[in-house]
């Protein structure tokens, strides 16, 4: 009799624990503020956020500003603070501009996860699916291969304040300067790669002013598309090479036509899932440790001082891979 009473008590405790865990999960709300809404890269990220939230039984959603304006991100974060969310995720347009509002959120007990901002302050964790140095160098090596290591090239970034785009640019420029002295950088870099129209216009202007230009590095998903369209217009396919991370579905035709030579990326849908996974963990007070296997990231080796988690999930974009990547909804 005592044995059965004991089993009933254990069963009761288990039911209470499960119900409490579910209740806690249902109370968790995560808002992720991205750089720009309505473009394929962040549409894929939103799909990952939604999918992972359903798997975990929590509420998570994406906020996409109408333009890549740091002030709009600040406003969106202020709205999420007022809403009382459990955690905020951010892909920053300007890391410094966000520091005060992120500090405000943390002071109110809201957890902060960032992506593409390895030196961000006032956060719980930042995560990257490729190292900045490796990502920039991979594009630089491919550009050197395509151009024969000779000529002039231009670099586009989302804006001059986007942390990771500029870190990639720094890495690529440094690599080419050290290893290919006959490759000359035109200007410094141009903050147009979050807009197809601005990238196209800038590429057209640069081609007109620099007859020896034979390469573009577009760090920002719209940069390679805009530069590619400019090259098509000027009938420079095969003479000027465009490389960079982009949405395979958006760039498929240009890649297959050899207008865009290729590039590298990671899966933005996976990044969306990781946002939700990490937010859920930190809200529940789960410690992240070296050697931990985190869904979407794998085995991690965090930088506890900088609050960075970096893994290598770089994917090659070219004529051989673009169909498969586009079929994944990327």
Q: Please compute the mean of the pLDDT values over residues 176-190 and round it to a whole number.
A: 97
Give the largest CA-CA distance in the chain.
92
Q: Does 11 score more than 80 pLDDT?
A: no
Q: Kindly calculate the radius of gyration of the chain based on its CA atoms and give it in whole angstroms.
A: 22
**What domains does the chain contain, in order, with CATH numbers?**
2-130+268-312 (3.40.50.2300), 132-265 (3.40.50.2300)
Element (H, E) at 265: strand 260-265
Distance CA 242, CA 214 (A): 9
Q: Does 315 score more than 60 pLDDT?
A: yes
The pLDDT value recorded for residue 25 is: 54
Distance CA 37, CA 293 (A): 31
Distance CA 252, CA 263 (A): 12
The pLDDT value recorded for residue 328 is: 85
The pLDDT value recorded for residue 93 is: 94
Distance CA 248, CA 262 (A): 10
Q: Does 250 score more than 80 pLDDT?
A: yes
Q: Does 111 score more than 50 pLDDT?
A: yes
Q: Does 165 score more than 80 pLDDT?
A: yes
Distance CA 43, CA 33 (A): 12
- pLDDT confidence tier of residue 175, bands split at 50, 70 and 90: very high
Q: What's the pTM?
A: 0.86
Q: Does 212 score more than 60 pLDDT?
A: yes
The pLDDT value recorded for residue 26 is: 64
* Chain segment 33-54, per-residue pLDDT in tens: 999 999 999 999 999 999 999 9
């Amino acid at each position: 009799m005592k044995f059965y009473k004991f089993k009933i008590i254990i069963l009761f405790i288990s039911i209470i624990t499960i119900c409490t865990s579910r209740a806690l999960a249902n109370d968790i709300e995560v808002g992720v503020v991205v750089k720009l809404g309505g473009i394929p890269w962040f549409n894929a990220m939103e799909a990952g956020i939604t999918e992972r939230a359903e798997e975990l039984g929590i509420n998570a959603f994406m906020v996409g500003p109408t333009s890549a304006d740091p002030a709009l991100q600040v406003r969106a974060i202020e709205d999420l603070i007022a809403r009382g969310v459990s955690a905020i995720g951010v892909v920053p347009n300007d890391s410094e501009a966000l520091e005060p509002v992120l500090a405000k959120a943390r002071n109110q007990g809201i957890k902060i996860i960032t992506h593409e901002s390895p030196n961000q302050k006032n956060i719980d964790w930042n995560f990257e699916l490729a190292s900045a140095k490796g990502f920039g160098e991979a594009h630089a090596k491919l550009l050197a291969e395509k151009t024969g290591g000779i000529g002039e090239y231009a670099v586009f970034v989302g804006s001059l304040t986007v942390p990771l785009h500029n870190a990639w640019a720094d890495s690529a420029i440094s690599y080419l300067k050290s290893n290919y002295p006959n490759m000359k950088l035109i200007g410094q870099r141009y903050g147009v790669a979050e807009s197809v129209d601005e990238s196209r216009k800038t590429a057209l202007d640069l081609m007109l002013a620099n007859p020896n230009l034979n390469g573009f590095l577009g760090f920002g998903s719209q940069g390679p598309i805009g530069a590619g369209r400019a090259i098509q217009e000027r009938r420079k396919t095969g003479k000027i090479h465009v490389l960079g991370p982009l949405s395979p579905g958006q760039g498929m035709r240009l890649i297959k036509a050899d207008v865009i030579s290729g590039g590298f990326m990671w899966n933005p849908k996976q990044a969306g899932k990781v946002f939700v996974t990490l937010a859920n963990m930190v809200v529940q007070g789960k410690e992240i440790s070296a050697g931990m296997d985190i869904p979407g990231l794998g085995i991690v080796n965090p930088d506890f001082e900088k609050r960075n988690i970096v893994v290598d999930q770089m994917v090659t974009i070219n004529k051989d891979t673009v169909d498969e990547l586009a079929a994944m909804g990327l």
